[in-house]
Amino acid sequence: MALKIKRQINRSFGGTLAIWVLLCIFAVFMLLPLIYAVSSALKPMDEFFLFPPKFFAENPTIQNFKTLFSVFDNSEVPLSRYLFNTVFVSVLGTVGQVILSSACAYALAKLHFPCREVMFKVIVASLMFNSTITSIANFLTLRSLNMVDTYWAVIIPSFASPMGLYLMKQFIEQMIPDTLLEAGRIDGAGEIYMFIKIALPLVKPAWLTLIVFAFQALWNTGSTAYVYKEELKTINYALSQIQAGGIARSGAAAAGTVIMMIVPMIVFVITQSNILETMATSGMKD
């Protein structure tokens, strides 16, 4: 007789209700920046600079979006190319980062080979170092590899994300019991096979989360310091340069900001709803 375990063990109704209310209040508060960004994009110019600003546009208009598109209409490099650049860089970078991080994390977490401890410590230590100075060194490295002003200048550095690796390693440690792997080895599965077929699916929440971070970082930065050719720029970079055109471009820039937000949001929603797959069983009973 299987105990039909609902999640609601040890839960009082009052407690749940209180939690609900608290969360909803906070959630609204957290949404303010988003609402503000969207409403700014919809404001006509005579409301745009109002102070104190309003959270909702009085006479919403899509003129800002139209202006934005017209700016791109007459450029030598078409909007579709910028879009392609952004997607290319973001997707490639994200995929690369997730794969490389997961692979290395798995190796460090579950496999035994020389220097494993040292490698890991080095990686975690590198997380501690953040500074604007590293960008100069990166530039020189890229230059000597002749990768400046190409797509790879953005993609390759993003592969080496210590944070991504650390994240994956911790999750792998938590969610994959050694015994599972031992069983697999006994059954004759190869190490790499086990990595791909057994380990990865088990840490789905982890790499879904990593996708969000990696994608967002790539989508938002575009390594502006290393790319100069117009046809290689990402949309984000191009949009930020529209704002720099002066006060007359404020409306179009606000519209651009909103468009830039939409894709990471969609990625976020998709991945989050997939994290909900709870682990029914781990396949092993100790």
Q: Which of residues 25-64 bind other proteins (CB under 8 A)?
A: 26-28, 30-34, 36-37, 44-53, 58-59
Q: How far is the CB of 179 from other proteins (least distance, A)?
A: 14
Number of residues that bind other proteins (CB under 8 A): 144
Residues 117-176 binding other proteins (CB under 8 A) are 119, 122-141, 143, 145, 156-157, 159-160, 162-163, 165-167, 169-171, 173-175
Contact between 3 and other proteins by CB under 8 A: the answer reads: yes
Residues 6+ apart with CB under 8 A from 243: 249, 250, 253, 256
Residues 263-282 binding other proteins (CB under 8 A) are 264-265, 268-269, 272-273, 275-276, 278-282
**What is the separation of C-alpha 280 from the centre of its chain, rounded to a whole number of angstroms?**
27
Q: Which of 205, 218, 235, 255 binds other proteins (CB under 8 A)?
A: 205
Q: Which of 41, 89, 212, 255 binds other proteins (CB under 8 A)?
A: 212
CA distances from 194 to 105, 109, 110 (A): 14, 14, 11
Contact between 88 and other proteins by CB under 8 A: the answer reads: no
Q: Which of 56, 146, 182, 190 binds other proteins (CB under 8 A)?
A: 190
| Closer residue to other proteins, CB minimum distance, 179 or 273 | 273
Contact between 14 and other proteins by CB under 8 A: the answer reads: no
For residue 199, how many other CB atoms are within 10 A of its CB? Answer: 22
Residues 237-266 binding other proteins (CB under 8 A) are 237-238, 241-250, 257, 261, 264-265
Contact between 2 and other proteins by CB under 8 A: the answer reads: no
Distance of alpha carbon 214 from alpha carbon 208, whole angstroms: 10
Q: How far is the CB of 248 from other proteins (least distance, A)?
A: 4
Contact between 19 and other proteins by CB under 8 A: the answer reads: yes
